[in-house]
């Protein structure tokens, strides 16, 4: 019985969102609109709906914008969260074979827009020429030429700390630092989570504020927690003290030898 009660309490906010879906105001040009611009915390996520507790303690059910481009989710991520299909931006030094020469310390996961051009472009002051072209490969031996590039492309793979990125016609390999700072700025609803903070630009019928229901023009969501993949059970490293020595309850290799 206790388990059933806990499950009911857990899913209740989302169920309430779904039940309120058909009661939200429609986009009617003749409806007198009042603006709702506020900040809050997402307490439930339903079918195209958010339940939000605002900074002043109010409770609102917000219908998300029709266009995913009107929703931005920002946050940070661990390197193990990277996966094929994501679009990334970073700056790195490459040789003429498209291999990064040092681990990158900063990277951004983003959603390409109409103004974004994918590819590898020489950074300011870099004398790169056609570094990744066929002519450069014939004239130069591998790793004889290096240059700094701004890269914007799609992640094709990530293994053993090295990412493979398709940037225009170039296929680039570059190591990622263990403590690489990864920022996330993506469009759409997929990464929103309960507990995230949200800035709301919405509207509601002027005479229906008490109902606490509105339609969003724009949502800007800030992730509460870092995006990361869970570490499988049994894969966590052994805990050590600050000096790097095993704890007293940990056996040393020679403990069983006399």
pTM over 0.85: no
Both structure tokens of 112: 């390409």
Is the pLDDT reported for residue 237 higher than 70?
no
Sequence spans of domains, the chain: 10-64+189-222, 75-186
Of 74, 76, 75, 72, whose CA–CA distance to 180 is shortest?
A: 76
Is the pLDDT reported for residue 23 higher than 90?
no
| Phi, psi values for residue 227, rounded to 5° | -75, 125
Q: Is the dihedral of CA 121, 124, 126, 129 positive or negative?
A: positive
| pLDDT single digits (tens) 49-87 | 999 999 899 999 999 999 999 999 999 999 999 999 999
pLDDT at position 250, please? 47
Residues 83, 227: Cα–Cα separation, whole Å = 12
Residues 202, 215: Cα–Cα separation, whole Å = 5
How confident is the prediction for the chain on average, in pLDDT? 81
Is the CATH code 2.40.50.140 the one for domain 10-64+189-222? Answer: yes
Is the pLDDT reported for residue 247 higher than 80?
no
């Amino acid at each position: 019985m206790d388990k059933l009660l806990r499950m009911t309490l857990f899913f209740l906010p989302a169920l309430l969102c779904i039940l309120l879906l058909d009661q939200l105001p429609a986009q009617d040009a003749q409806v007198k609109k009042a603006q709702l611009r506020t900040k809050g915390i997402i307490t439930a996520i339903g079918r195209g709906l958010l339940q939000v507790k605002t900074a002043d303690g109010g409770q609102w059910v917000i219908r998300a914008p029709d266009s995913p481009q009107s929703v931005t989710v920002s946050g940070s991520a661990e390197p193990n969260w990277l996966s094929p299909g994501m679009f990334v931006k970073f700056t790195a030094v490459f040789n003429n074979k498209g291999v990064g020469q040092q681990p990158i310390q900063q990277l951004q996961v983003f959603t390409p827009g109409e103004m974004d051009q994918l590819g590898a472009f020489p950074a300011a002051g870099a004398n790169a020429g056609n570094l990744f072209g066929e002519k450069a490969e014939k004239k130069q031996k591998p790793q004889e030429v290096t240059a700094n590039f701004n890269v914007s492309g799609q992640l094709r793979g990530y293994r053993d700390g090295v990412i493979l990125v398709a940037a225009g016609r170039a296929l680039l390999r570059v190591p990622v630092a263990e403590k690489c700072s990864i920022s996330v700025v993506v469009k759409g609803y997929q990464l929103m989570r309960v507990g995230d903070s949200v800035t709301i630009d919405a509207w509601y019928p002027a005479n229906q504020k008490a109902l606490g229901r509105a339609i969003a023009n724009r949502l800007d969501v800030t992730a509460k927690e870092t995006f990361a993949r869970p570490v499988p059970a049994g894969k966590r490293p052994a805990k050590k003290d600050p000096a790097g020595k095993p704890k007293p309850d940990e056996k040393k290799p020679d403990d069983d030898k006399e």
